[in-house]
């Protein structure tokens, strides 16, 4: 009862912001996560002190991890195998090389390996969702929420731009419907924008793009495992009290395995997807509340340039692989 009294105000505020963000998303056809982040930042004062602070912390951590874990209900092993091993290798290579590019560039720009891992992982995997998941297992520091918020804003903006530009690019290069789907699904950051871009070209392109995108989402598990291993090998303070593989990554993998058997009814899968989306929107609202707008402005242009270069790098890798005979 005491825990309920402690966390209820902050969780309620995050839920209200999530409802408002979803309403705006439906009516203005934009990302609910972006609206949640911006609305949350307007309520930054609630996270500084007062009754809402404990609940906001729970929403930005435990509720976040629950939402990420439930993403496993979107994927089956059959979907992955239907793509063919060449496409699987392309997606895996794109993720690995983009994250490596992010780390190397971030070091060169003196932004730090952790920031490069965060932005590279968000660009390579699934935008805002990946940013939230990776941020939750990286070592904590005073600017952790700021970095996560910046990455969500940046990847969402670039993903929206890509949704408009990339279908034009596929037409300019004369790609067929399947190749267009591979390019769109393999490069655009967020799932919603992949769907929008893919089906704007054709039904086959949309179907292919969606499956390729879900394969990128599945890469969240091995990436989280790799980060956990790296933290333990380096003896990071964050790793000493944390499991090698976060619980939400284990649940993610189990849900993929169970969902692949076909025993989960479609209604339950749909219900789980809705809960996942609500959890992630609530979490990003809470992270927004913990983020100061001034701190984002103080970051300067280097992080923006880093995200743009990572995005272009991923697009070049995928396009080059498609163009090869």
CA dihedral 277, 308, 157, 127 (to 10 degrees): 0
Work out the number of other CB atoms within 10 angstroms of the CB of residue 201: 20
Query: Which single residue is written with the structure tokens 């602070």?
Result: 53
pLDDT in tens, 132-157: 888 878 877 777 778 888 888 888 88
Query: Which single residue is written with the structure tokens 């609206």?
Result: 35
CB-count burial class (<10 Å; 0-12, 13-18, 19+) for 27: exposed
Distance CA 186, CA 321 (A): 11
Query: Which single residue is written with the structure tokens 């929107």?
Result: 281
pLDDT in tens, 85-94: 888 899 999 9
Work out the number of other CB atoms within 10 angstroms of the CB of residue 262: 10
State the chain's mean pLDDT as an integer: 84
Quick one: what percent of the chain has pLDDT higher than 90? 25
pLDDT in tens, 56-110: 888 887 887 888 788 788 778 887 777 788 888 999 999 999 999 999 999 999 9
pLDDT confidence band for 207 (50 / 70 / 90): confident
């Amino acid at each position: 009862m005491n825990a309920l009294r402690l966390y209820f105000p902050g969780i309620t505020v995050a839920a209200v912001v999530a409802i408002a963000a979803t309403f705006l998303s439906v009516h203005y056809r934009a990302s609910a996560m972006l609206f949640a982040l911006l609305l949350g930042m307007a309520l930054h004062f609630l996270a500084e002190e007062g009754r809402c602070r404990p609940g906001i912390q729970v929403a930005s951590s435990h509720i976040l991890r629950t939402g990420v874990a439930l993403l496993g209900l979107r994927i089956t092993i059959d979907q992955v195998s239907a793509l063919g091993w060449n496409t699987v290798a392309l997606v895996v290579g794109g993720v690995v090389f983009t994250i490596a590019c992010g780390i190397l560039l971030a070091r060169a720009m003196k932004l730090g390996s952790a920031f490069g891992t965060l932005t590279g992982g968000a660009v390579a995997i699934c935008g805002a969702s990946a940013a939230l998941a990776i941020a939750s297992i990286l070592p904590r520091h005073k600017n952790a929420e700021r970095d996560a918020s910046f990455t969500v804003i940046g990847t969402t903006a670039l993903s929206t731009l890509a949704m408009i530009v990339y279908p034009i690019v596929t037409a300019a290069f004369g790609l067929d419907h399947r190749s267009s789907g591979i390019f769109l699904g393999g490069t655009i950051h967020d799932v919603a924008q992949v769907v929008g871009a893919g089906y704007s070209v054709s039904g086959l392109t949309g179907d292919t793009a969606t499956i390729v995108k879900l394969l990128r989402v599945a890469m969240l598990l091995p990436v989280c495992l790799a980060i956990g291993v790296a933290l333990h090998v380096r003896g990071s303070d964050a790793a000493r009290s944390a499991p090698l593989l976060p619980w939400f990554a284990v649940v993610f993998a189990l849900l993929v395995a169970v969902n692949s058997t076909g025993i989960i009814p479609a209604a339950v899968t749909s219900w789980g997807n809705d809960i996942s989306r609500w959890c992630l929107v609530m979490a990003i609202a809470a992270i927004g509340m913990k983020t100061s707008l001034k701190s984002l402005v103080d970051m300067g242009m280097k992080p923006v340039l880093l995200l743009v270069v990572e995005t272009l790098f991923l697009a070049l890798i995928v396009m080059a692989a498609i163009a090869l005979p």
